[in-house]
Amino acid sequence: MTNEHLMEMLRLHNLWLHGKTGGARANLSGANLSDANMSGADLSGADLSDADLSRANLSGADLSDANMSRANLSGANLSRANLSGADLSGLEVPVIDRIDQKISSAVTAGALEMSTWHTCETTHCVAGWAIHLAGDAGAKLEQRVGPSAAGALIYAASGSHPVPSFYASNEVAMNELRRRAAASAPAESEAGE
């Protein structure tokens, strides 16, 4: 698919999302979107089933309620993407309850190094921690789609939206982890009452 054709589909999809005349839901089913830059795109409700999204930049994209079943997400950048309600069937994505709190606790006890996915068993970036804490299922997913996409998918499946930035500095990432952990803590403590 040419970049011009993709941009036109995104324009029509935006019209469709806003109920404007001439709009059409983006049907990118089976499309070759490898290496495409769709950073920040609003693809909510789009059909991306069977699409090749390998190495695509989807950072900050709104993929809520999108059909992403059987999509190839190998090496895709899903940092800060909204994947709430996205159909990810075809992928076995592990869930980590209270993911933000668990990673924040692990980082407090271990180390955070955002310049590399995994340094050792006790030092990872945020995505690396999500994969590590998911155990064998996380490792299998990482082998299939790569560390960035695996971390993002685990975050999304665990109900944490949007996916955090995996390319921030150590300081920014740590501050974001603490903020996210604190923001989700009250809702969880109320649920236990």
Tell whether 110 and 181 lie within a shared domain.
Answer: yes
Tell whether 132 and 82 lie within a shared domain.
Answer: no
Tell whether 106 and 187 lie within a shared domain.
Answer: yes
Tell whether 141 and 61 lie within a shared domain.
Answer: no
Q: Are 25 and 49 in contact (CB under 8 A)?
A: no
Asked whether the predicted pLDDT for residue 187 surpasses 90, the reply is: no
Digit-coded pLDDT (tens) for 83-128: 999 999 888 999 999 998 899 888 876 688 888 888 777 788 899 9
Tell whether 141 and 170 lie within a shared domain.
Answer: yes
Digit-coded pLDDT (tens) for 19-68: 999 999 999 999 999 999 999 999 999 999 999 999 999 999 999 999 99
Tell whether 61 and 144 lie within a shared domain.
Answer: no
The CATH number given to whatever domain includes residue 26 is 2.160.20.80
Indicate the pTM of the whole model. Answer: 0.83
For residue 134, give the nearest of 115, 112, 152 by alpha carbon: 152
User: Which residues form the domain of 20?
Assistant: 1-90
